[in-house]
């Protein structure tokens, strides 16, 4: 069918749509992993340690790329999810161990995300004079909004909403960093390399390395690429491209937050943390402070709400996969099931949206600490299982780990296991406000 010159084919939207579909899973998993905790940790790290730790944002993104790329190769080579691989090749016991961990992680993480959205809502539009009350009100509103949007909209609406939130998050935070650089920010220092000499400061470095780009949410990627019916070596190549795009965005986002934090004096926290950060930023920016303040607050909201939407949409996949593995379905039958239409998916979605709201009364600091510890503990486990599964004979040779991948996974395993253990011993588990 031909078209006249007066009525040309709208090629640009088609190309843009194809590009978005190609990059969507990688950008979704990277954005889901960028929550308030990572945002604040990077800013505090820049404030306390300076721009010499900017390398950690890039290194964290590279580590997550290798982890997610390994997960994708497993799925492309076996046509099974990583949870199926754990169950089939490491023993069914790991499935039960994981579900216990997933329940605890989901409870704490969803509570942390609802609290973070409450903090963002309070910063943008306070309803009362009490920050704690505002956090609870806005936290409930965001949790319910996420529940309704995911429940009625499905994956297509989720993609569209996330693209908006990610755009807001990315553009506004980079614009804020640009305002700082326009005032003569020290660009050269972004390329320095410093490692904190004091043990107490290394926790911040680990938080930046481990928090950038997600923890358990990395497993969500397998279900999003299944939505696109990816498979084989072609699927691996597509995954490498979209993951590179997603983690490039995440690395730049982390760099921007460290740059922003380097201009501020951040020592406080609590329910006013977003406002405190924004107010100091406005003061540091001088004449452009009012604009920068609102740009940052909008970006902060975009970061935490996109993370909430991502977790609300993806975590029920894991619960559904767990229960389907306990039934007499073949792998082919499981692949043909629309997870979002199952009762298990919907029950899990409602549960993670409502039950964790009981945590809204706790301080944001106590929830974030627990969330960070639970997430960081997953990193060495994921690296270890990818070393075992992706070097095994059950994976076709062309999909197995190469020497560089094995080295990166081994480094991830050793670093996070060692440093994570040290940090666990130092944590004050009293959670005082």
- For residue 430, pLDDT over 60 is answered with no
Question: Structure pTM?
Answer: 0.83
pLDDT digits (tens, 9 = 90+) for 192-221: 667 766 656 666 677 677 666 567 888 888
Overall average pLDDT of the 35-63 stretch: 78
pLDDT band at 429 (very low <50, low <70, confident <90, very high): very low
What pLDDT shows up at residue 336?
79
- For residue 61, pLDDT over 50 is answered with yes
- For residue 148, pLDDT over 70 is answered with yes
Q: Which whole-number Å values give the CA distances from 432 to 201, 203, 367, 369, 373, in the listed order?
A: 20, 19, 11, 11, 17
What pLDDT shows up at residue 4?
37
- For residue 359, pLDDT over 80 is answered with yes
- For residue 349, pLDDT over 80 is answered with yes
What pLDDT shows up at residue 154?
77
Reading the block at residue 340, the tokens are 């979002």
Q: How many helices (H) and strands (E) does the chain have?
A: 16, 0
Overall average pLDDT of the 365-382 stretch: 70
396: CB partners within 8 A, 6+ apart:
77
pLDDT band at 328 (very low <50, low <70, confident <90, very high): confident
Lowest model confidence (mean pLDDT) among 65-79, 212-226, 366-380, 402-416: 366-380
What pLDDT shows up at residue 421?
61
The DSSP annotation for 85-153 comes to HHHHHH-THHHHHHHHHHHHHHHHHHHHHHHHHHHHHHHHS--SS-HHHHHHHHHHHHHHHHHHHHHHH
Overall average pLDDT of the 77-106 stretch: 89
What pLDDT shows up at residue 196?
66
What pLDDT shows up at residue 234?
92
If phi over 0 gives left and psi between -120 and 50 gives alpha, with beta otherwise, what is residue 428?
A: beta
pLDDT band at 287 (very low <50, low <70, confident <90, very high): confident
Overall average pLDDT of the 66-95 stretch: 90
């Amino acid at each position: 069918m031909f078209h006249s010159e007066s009525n040309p084919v709208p090629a640009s939207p088609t190309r843009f749509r194809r590009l978005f579909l190609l990059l969507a899973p990688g950008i979704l998993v990277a954005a889901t992993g960028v929550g308030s905790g990572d945002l604040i940790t990077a800013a505090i790290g820049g404030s306390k340690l300076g721009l010499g730790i900017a390398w950690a944002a890039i290194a964290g993104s590279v580590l997550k790329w290798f982890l997610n790329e390994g997960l994708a190769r497993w799925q492309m080579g076996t046509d099974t999810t990583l949870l199926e691989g754990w169950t089939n090749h490491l023993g069914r016991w790991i499935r039960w161990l994981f579900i216990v961990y997933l329940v605890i992680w989901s409870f704490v993480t969803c509570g942390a995300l609802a609290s973070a959205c409450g903090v963002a809502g309070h910063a943008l539009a306070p309803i009362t004079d009490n920050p704690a009350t505002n956090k609870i009100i806005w936290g409930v509103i965001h949790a319910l909004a996420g529940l309704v949007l995911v429940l009625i909209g499905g994956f297509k609406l989720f993609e569209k909403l996330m693209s908006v939130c990610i755009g807001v998050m990315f553009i506004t935070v980079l614009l804020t960093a640009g305002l700082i650089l326009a005032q003569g920010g020290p660009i050269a220092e972004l390329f320095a390399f410093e490692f904190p000499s004091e043990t107490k400061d290394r926790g911040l470095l680990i938080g930046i390395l481990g928090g950038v780009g997600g923890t358990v949410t990395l497993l969500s990627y397998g279900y999003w690429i299944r939505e696109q019916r990816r498979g084989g070596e072609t699927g691996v190549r597509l995954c490498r491209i979209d993951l590179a795009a997603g983690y490039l965005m995440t690395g730049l986002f982390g760099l921007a937050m460290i740059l922003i934090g380097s201009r501020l004096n951040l020592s406080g926290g609590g329910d006013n943390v977003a406002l405190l950060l924004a107010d100091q930023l406005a003061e540091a920016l001088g004449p452009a402070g009012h604009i920068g303040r609102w740009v940052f607050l909008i970006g902060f909201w975009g970061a935490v709400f996109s993370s909430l939407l991502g977790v609300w949409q993806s975590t029920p996949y894991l619960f559904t996969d767990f229960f389907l593995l306990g039934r007499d379905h073949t792998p082919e039958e499981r692949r043909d099931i629309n997870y979002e239409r199952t009762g298990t998916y919907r029950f899990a979605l409602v549960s993670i949206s409502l039950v964790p709201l009981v945590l809204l009364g706790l301080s944001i600091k106590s929830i974030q600490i627990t969330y960070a510890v639970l997430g960081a503990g997953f990193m060495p486990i994921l690296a270890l299982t990818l070393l075992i599964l992706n070097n095994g004979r059950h994976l076709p040779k062309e999909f197995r780990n190469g020497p560089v991948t094995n080295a990166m996974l081994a480094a991830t395993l050793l670093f996070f296991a060692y440093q994570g253990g040290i940090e666990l011993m130092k944590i004050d588990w009293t959670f005082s406000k």
